[in-house]
Amino acid sequence: MRKISSYLAAALLTALTCSGAADTPGAVPVAERFPDFSWDRVPLYMHIRKSTGLTPEELRYLAGFPLIAFEKTTGATDYSSTEKGTLEAARAVKRLNPAAKILYYRNVIVHYGGYAANAQLAAIPDAFLVSHDGRGKLVRNAVEAYDLTNPKLRDWWVENARQLCADPAIDGVFLDGNVKVLEPDYLRKDLGPERKQAVVEGYHAMMAATRVALGPKKLMVANLVRARFPDAGLGWLGAFDGSYFEGFETTVGTIPREDYVAKGIAAAQEAARRGVIVAFTAGMGKLALGETGNAQLTDEIRNRATQEAETQRRLTYCLAMFLICAEKYSYFLAHDGYDATKSSTWLKRPPEFERPLGPPTGKAQREGSIYTREFRQASVWLDVKNEQARITWH
């Protein structure tokens, strides 16, 4: 295993040329590293898991996305581990669409089962965080948290990411759990302020080491930018090729919902204008794209119409929010969960995704809670205060 010290020694020299969107001298060009992008239709992203193998129909569906993240447990039941399952799924998609960019899921602090690499943790003393009163399983009082102050633990984590990304079917890593590490109050009472700060410093060291270990051609997309942070997390974005966006409407703190959403939109716009990858996800809740109702309802026809209208309203609102933010390398996902066996949005493709869109004619305009933006073949109107939106397709 390559030592993390060698990674860190090179990190400062390579960070600018290996990450971010800018084509700096010595960097691998963005067009070569990043997913395909087109304004012809709504640019789409997929984030999914299925513990068993994917069917031919599912593979054909996935092959239509330029950017795909395979979540934890992908293929683990059929192929014995998340690593093997992810590789099998990625190779199968690549056979249908070699241009698809595929990300391997790793959480930076939460310890999940199903990974073959977990067997190595028994040989790493003090791999998990323990509270000042001796408690383990600090994540939701149920799951272990990695002790990022431990260099051997960081070595192990980085090496696993390097091994998977060394396969040509894997184009990079999706990094989850960043917000947990960087949120000042998360685990602070359990660990104390000094140890909490040491965990944050260990995280930054691990991210720098991962960048060097993966090399300049692989992607690092972090679940990072949030309105909850003073600068929405944009100050940390330079270490990565982009950010996953979620939780736009789940306020943290005392800020009013309307202001929280507006701050999230501003952060997404700023990130997108930097030219990094923006993987914009919007929850559809229990709504389903294209569902035809519930046969158990008393008045099936009336309730089907109500459900379909609400589904359409929610999809329009989420898509409008994305279009207000989107720039080149921004991608959209509307979902109701990441488990393919439970999701009602899986294998669905709403008519809006097939409509011609065209590039934006300019930046979005804002007046209070109202946002508007013009595309070559669509006009977008969004009201975040009243949670309403219109997309007029020309």
- What confidence tens digit (pLDDT) does each residue in 293-302 have? 333 434 554 4
Strand partners, 336: none
Nearest to 365 by CA among 353, 356, 374, 357: 374
Mode of pairing for the β-strands spanning 378-383 and 219-223: unpaired
Please state the φ and ψ torsions of residue 63, each to the nearest 5 degrees.
-65, -10
Query: What is the rounded average pLDDT of the residues 376-392?
Result: 97
Q: What is the pLDDT of residue 6?
A: 41
Mean pLDDT of 90-109: 98
Region 261-267: mean pLDDT is: 97
pLDDT digits (tens, 9 = 90+) for 216-255: 999 999 999 999 999 999 999 999 999 999 988 888 888 9
Domain boundaries, the chain: 4-353
pLDDT in tens, 298-340: 455 446 567 788 889 999 999 999 999 999 999 999 999 999 9
Give the model confidence (pLDDT) of 163-219 as tens digits. Answer: 999 999 999 999 999 999 999 999 999 999 999 999 999 999 999 999 999 999 999
Q: Which CATH architecture has domain 4-353?
A: Alpha-Beta Barrel (3.20)
- Residues 14-61: tens digit of each pLDDT: 443 445 565 554 568 888 899 999 999 999 999 999 999 999 999 999
Q: What is the pLDDT of residue 332?
A: 98
Rounded to two decimals, what is the model's pTM? Answer: 0.91
